[in-house]
């Protein structure tokens, strides 16, 4: 399995055969001088400075250029962006990195990333996503071990940034592992165990409410959506409390480990891939992990609403009326609109019990999002204009 280390500046790699990947936006690569450390690591693949200058002058606006029998690669990230993507063009980098194959005898992957500071986080996250953790292919006789070094070349980049992005890379890959794991393995009980493990690893306070205790505690949304599943629904809270904190932030994640649609069942083409309906919970759990590992200075909670929306004689029916944690009653008219029911309990708990001053809720909530903001953008909605501007500035 690959181990990723992010470093500040070009450094040496360990012993063994190494595959080199040089990455940057076209405009950034064309300004790079082929001297010093870059020349030391790339000369055997690229040649001399005149070869480098000739190569970067002819690269297309985007794409991957294989070098030296596929042992080295040059990836140009587009400089321009349309309204259908982001200025970082991290999706293009992910696509090109995913197409890279490493010879079976390669032990080290040395990635040299030339980037503007505003692009570094998105580019490192895109790279990390390509080193998947989950696989159950029968052809994989053994798990391959790779040492992956991402050397960031950027004037403003610091060693503290490198440490954070190493942890972020692990969180990105853990999020993907959880989403990739099928629901017959990642049951509600298994996702609870994953969350508890993260909580203990970072020294957080852990609270788990499960099964009939949810109903007794008033969590009608989570309980009634998840009661038909083969394993019980659960609500997990991890808390990182900081004395003197001026902010109390809660992350709330939708954790539907599988969504059949319930009694109003999905179609044969609409149901596949519904194992990913817990992506919000996975993302928020690993966000919490990365922030706490790096000494987040404010009080932070993560609330995970974990269910399986399945079919059984006790499943929610259209016309059923349930009572939420808030005390409000809700009439079910679509059993496949379960996300808002479980999140309502989670958000109410964050606001009224945890007294959160800011709540971030992340969910694979509705297919309508694809029509609103497309395949490259998530949709963001908030009741705070200042926060909306901050989100837009960060992501777009």
- For 188-245, write each residue's pLDDT tens digit: 999 999 999 999 999 999 999 999 999 999 999 999 999 999 999 999 999 999 999 9
If you average pLDDT over every residue of the chain, what do you get? Answer: 93
Per the CB < 8 A criterion, the answer to whether 219 and 344 are in contact is: no
Strand partners, 323: 329
Per the CB < 8 A criterion, the answer to whether 164 and 28 are in contact is: no
The whole-angstrom separation of Cα 57 and Cα 72 is: 18
The boundaries of every CATH 3.40.630.10 domain in the chain are 188-365
- For 155-193, write each residue's pLDDT tens digit: 999 999 999 999 999 999 999 999 999 999 999 999 999
Catalytic-role residue among 266, 268, 276, 293:
266
Catalytic-role residue among 95, 133, 340, 351:
340
Considering only CA atoms, which of 383, 194, 172, 207 is closest in space to residue 301? 207
Residue 110 has pLDDT above 60, yes or no: yes
Per the CB < 8 A criterion, the answer to whether 302 and 208 are in contact is: no
3-state secondary structure of 302: strand
Between these two residues, 84 and 258, which has the higher pLDDT value? 258
The whole-angstrom separation of Cα 294 and Cα 182 is: 30
Structure token digits, residue 125: 């996250």
Structure token digits, residue 8: 């500040």
Cα 107 off chain centre by: 26
- For 8-52, write each residue's pLDDT tens digit: 999 999 889 999 999 999 999 999 999 889 999 999 888 889 989
What dotted CATH number matches 188-365?
A: 3.40.630.10
What dotted CATH number matches 2-180?
A: 3.40.50.10590
The whole-angstrom separation of Cα 160 and Cα 177 is: 26
Whole-model pTM? 0.95
Q: For the purposes of burial, counting CB atoms within 10 Å of the CB of 121, is it exposed (0-12), middle (13-18) or buried (19 or more)?
A: middle
Is 197 a catalytic site residue?
no
Angle between helices 159-180 and 117-129 (to 10 degrees): 30
Is 340 a catalytic site residue?
yes
Average pLDDT over residues 77-95: 87
The boundaries of every CATH 3.40.50.10590 domain in the chain are 2-180
Sequence-separated (6 or more) residues with CB below 8 Å from residue 390: none
DSSP class of 143? P
Per the CB < 8 A criterion, the answer to whether 308 and 204 are in contact is: no
Q: What angle do CA 173, 9, 32 make, to 5 degrees?
A: 110
């Amino acid at each position: 399995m690959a181990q990723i280390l992010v470093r500040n500046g070009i450094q040496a790699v360990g012993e063994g055969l190494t595959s080199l990947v040089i990455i940057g936006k076209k405009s950034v690569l064309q300004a790079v001088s082929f001297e010093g450390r870059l020349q030391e690591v790339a000369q055997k693949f690229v040649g001399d400075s005149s070869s480098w200058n000739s190569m970067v002058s002819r690269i297309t606006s985007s794409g991957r250029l294989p070098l030296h029998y596929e042992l080295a690669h040059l990836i140009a990230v587009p400089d321009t962006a349309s309204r259908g993507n982001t200025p970082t063009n991290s999706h293009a980098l992910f696509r090109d990195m995913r197409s890279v194959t490493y010879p079976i005898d390669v032990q080290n992957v040395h990635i040299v990333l030339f980037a503007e500071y505003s692009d570094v986080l998105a580019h490192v996250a895109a790279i990390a996503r390509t080193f998947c953790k989950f696989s159950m292919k029968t052809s994989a006789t053994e798990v391959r071990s790779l040492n992956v070094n991402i050397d960031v070349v950027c004037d403003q980049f610091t060693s503290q940034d490198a440490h954070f992005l190493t942890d972020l890379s692990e969180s990105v890959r853990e999020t993907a592992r959880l989403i990739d794991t099928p629901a017959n393995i990642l049951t509600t009980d298994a996702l609870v165990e994953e969350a508890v493990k993260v909580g203990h690893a970072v020294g957080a306070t852990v609270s788990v409410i499960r099964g009939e205790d949810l109903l007794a505690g008033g969590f009608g949304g989570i309980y009634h959506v998840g009661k038909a599943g083969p394993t019980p629904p659960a609500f997990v809270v991890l808390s990182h409390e900081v004395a003197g904190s001026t902010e109390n932030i809660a992350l709330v994640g939708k954790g539907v480990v599988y969504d059949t649609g319930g009694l109003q069942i999905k179609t044969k083409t609409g149901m596949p891939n519904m194992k990913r309906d817990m992506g919000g919970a996975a993302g928020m759990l690993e966000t919490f992990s990365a922030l706490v590992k790096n000494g987040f200075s404010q009080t932070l909670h993560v609330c995970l609403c974990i269910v399986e929306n399945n079919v059984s004689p006790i499943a929610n029916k259209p016309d059923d009326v349930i009572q939420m944690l808030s005390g409000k009653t809700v009439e079910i008219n679509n059993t496949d609109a379960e996300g808002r029911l479980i999140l309502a309990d989670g958000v109410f708990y964050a606001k009224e019990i945890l007294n959160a001053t800011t709540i971030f809720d992340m969910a694979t909530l509705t297919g309508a999002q694809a029509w609103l903001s497309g395949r490259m953008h998530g949709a963001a909605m908030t009741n705070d204009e200042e926060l909306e501007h901050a989100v837009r500035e960060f992501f777009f």
